[in-house]
Amino acid sequence: MPTAFITGITGQDGAYLSQLLLGKGYRVVGLLRRSASADMVGERLRWLGIIDDVELLDGNMTDLSSLIRLIADTRPDEVYNLAAQSFVAASWHQPILTGNVTGIGATHMLEAVRIAHAGARFYQASSSEMFGKIQATLQNEATPFYPRSPYAVAKLYAHWMTVNYRESFGMHASSGILFNHESPLRGIEFVTRKITDGVARIKLGLASELKLGNLAATRDWGHARDYVQAMWLMLQQASPDDYVVATGRTTSIAEFCRIAFSHAGLNWQDHVVTDAAFMRPAEVDVLQGDPTKARQVLGWSSQTSLEDMAAEMVEADIARHRVRMA
């Protein structure tokens, strides 16, 4: 039975990746950062019905000693570093925390693997936000980076450290440059989930309007359940490498609103208002990935349409609110 060690296991990607790996017969061990809200920590794993099938061990991305101990104790075959302060808007308010967790934390993880169990294969969750002010219409592995937020800068540091450890120490370390990926498990602070939750509230009479920021920004949105498949495939390759993981389709926030509201039989223009409070200090206007390499080398492609994903998210949020109203 192979062992996988996942940081960020209680997040959206960590939960779906755990589900995937358990289905493949893995022992799944996750890093658990203790907090005052520990009773809520495993909600995504509970949603998928796998909370009792994973092992959650105490540690922290800012504490190298805890990571070395955990890697030495579990001796995983594969390490997936998904942990981050991942909300872009918050990174302007907490740039040092974001750098410490998202950037330096990844280096801690690489160093822990190098010291305690160098034979483990390593996956780094890189981000399309690193492209920022885009230098090419379609972004692929050769497109220059131009980060536009503290989060993106931290992710870029982690990305290049992964490349550096691969080249310096011969580690099997790969990065997935994942474009936006969503699901019913997405955090409520992210715009897609904010929209689908807003649709649910309005549909059920709990609200009448939804405040959003830049409706013209466009993103390449896929389903997290599909994207964790690409993570696993990267670590099955004979040689490590970096891959863009995307759908190749870009959609505006306004269009996502139309799709989500339409699923509930609503006109988005009757309910959505723009609020300057939600505008970013430096906007990333367009992101659209070119997943050709992932398709050709990994045999991977996105399987869930944007429309089906939005419908799934709306239905899940309606169900959540109906339970709370009961």
How many CA within 13 A on the CB side of residue 22?
Answer: 20
What pLDDT, on the 0 to 100 scale, is given for residue 36? 45
Please return the burial class of 204, using the count of CB atoms within 10 Å of its CB with bins 0-12, 13-18 and 19+. middle
Task: Quickly state the pLDDT bin for 311 (edges 50, 70, 90).
Answer: very high
- In the predicted structure, residue 204 carries a pLDDT above the cut 80: yes
Catalytic site residue 129?
yes
- The pLDDT tens digits of the residues spanning 2-55 come to 999 999 999 999 999 999 999 999 999 999 987 645 556 789 999 999 999 999
| Pairing verdict, β 272-274 and 210-212 | parallel
Q: Which of 18, 86, 127, 174 is catalytic?
A: 127
Percent of the chain with pLDDT over 90: 88
Q: Which of 91, 123, 128, 129 is catalytic?
A: 129
Q: Which of 151, 165, 227, 243 is catalytic?
A: 151
- The pLDDT tens digits of the residues spanning 224-254 come to 999 999 999 999 999 999 999 999 999 999 9
What pLDDT, on the 0 to 100 scale, is given for residue 33? 82
What CATH number labels 187-219+249-286+305-325? Answer: 3.90.25.10
Angle at 13 between CA 263 and CA 230, to 5 degrees: 95
Percent of the chain with pLDDT over 70: 98
Catalytic site residue 127?
yes
What pLDDT, on the 0 to 100 scale, is given for residue 90? 84
**What are the residue ranges of CATH 3.40.50.720 in the chain?**
3-181+222-245
In sequence order, what DSSP letters do the residues of 171-229 get, joined into one string?
--EEEEEEPPEE-TTS-TTSHHHHHHHHHHHHHTTS-S-EEES-TT-EE--EEHHHHHH
Class of domain 3-181+222-245: alpha beta
What pLDDT, on the 0 to 100 scale, is given for residue 254? 96
**What are the residue ranges of CATH 3.90.25.10 in the chain?**
187-219+249-286+305-325
Write down the mean pLDDT value for the chain. Answer: 94
- The pLDDT tens digits of the residues spanning 273-290 come to 998 887 777 777 889 999
Catalytic site residue 315?
no
- The pLDDT tens digits of the residues spanning 164-187 come to 999 999 999 999 999 999 999 999
Predicted model pTM: 0.94
- The pLDDT tens digits of the residues spanning 52-109 come to 999 999 999 999 999 999 999 999 999 999 999 877 878 889 999 999 999 999 999 9
